[in-house]
């Protein structure tokens, strides 16, 4: 943290709105472009920027000098805020789409049901051929909707190991599903 950042941050902690404005002016463009890069949405990036500075002003996010540079800290706060808002929007969008789909829901045809069952059986057969570690990763990520970090915490594994196992599992699933389709589907599942 530069001396200027340090002084401004401490002034802001004591209620100095001018210090907050100066921090905002200094980091606004960096944080806004970072949020756009993460989200691909300028409106969401503006919302992220507002949330970040509200968190800082209300002391919901507190910088600790011994843990790193101020600029790194504020970018990290921006990243987590952006991810939270993206997830919140996805939940709201999914809920709206589910409501809309329920209104216009049609009964699936017998052919569609048979196709879905066969596809489901193919996926189950392919998943059975994965190693136990890969099956756990696939179950947590795809069937339980857990984030990589949540899986890492639950399984007490490094984040890179979780990502590697998922990548390998997908590679094996693709190969296995391709072989099942080549053979013409499920015969003894």
Q: How many other CB atoms sit within 10 Å of the CB of residue 86? A: 17
Tell me if 74 sits within 8 A of 27, measured CB to CB.
Answer: yes
Query: pTM, whole model, 2 decimals?
Result: 0.47
pLDDT score recorded for residue 92: 62
Name residue, tokens 């606004």. Answer: 28
pLDDT score recorded for residue 184: 66
Query: In this structure, what DSSP letter does residue 12 have?
Result: H
| 126 half-sphere exposure, CB direction, 13 A CA radius | 22
SS3 call for 83: helix
Encode the chain (189 residues) as per-residue pLDDT tens digits: 455 777 888 888 888 889 889 989 988 888 888 888 888 888 988 999 999 989 988 888 778 777 788 888 888 888 888 888 888 887 665 544 555 555 444 555 555 555 556 666 777 778 888 888 888 888 887 767 778 888 899 999 998 888 888 888 888 888 887 887 777 655 444
Tell me if 33 sits within 8 A of 42, measured CB to CB.
Answer: no
Name residue, tokens 């002016």. Answer: 25
pLDDT score recorded for residue 9: 85
pLDDT score recorded for residue 189: 41
pLDDT score recorded for residue 188: 44
pLDDT score recorded for residue 8: 85
DSSP string across 35-55: HHHHHS-HHHHHHHHHHHHHH
């Amino acid at each position: 943290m530069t001396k200027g950042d340090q002084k401004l941050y401490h002034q802001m902690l004591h209620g100095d709105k001018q210090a907050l404005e100066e921090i905002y002016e200094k980091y606004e463009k960096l944080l806004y472009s970072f949020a756009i890069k993460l989200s691909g949405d300028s409106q969401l990036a503006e919302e992220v920027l507002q949330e970040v500075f509200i968190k800082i002003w209300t002391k919901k996010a507190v910088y600790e000098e011994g843990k790193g540079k101020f600029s790194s800290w504020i970018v990290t706060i921006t990243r987590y805020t952006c991810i939270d808002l993206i997830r919140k929007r996805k939940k709201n969008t999914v809920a709206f789409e589910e409501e809309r789909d329920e209104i216009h829901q049609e009964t699936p045809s017998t052919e569609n049901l048979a196709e879905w069952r066969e596809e489901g059986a193919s996926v189950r057969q392919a998943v059975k051929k994965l190693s136990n570690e890969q099956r756990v990763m696939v179950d947590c990520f795809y069937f339980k909707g857990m984030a990589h970090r949540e899986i890492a915490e639950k399984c007490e594994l490094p984040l890179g190991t979780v990502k590697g196992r998922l990548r390998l599992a997908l590679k094996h699933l693709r190969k296995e599903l391709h072989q099942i389709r080549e053979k013409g589907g499920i015969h003894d599942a």
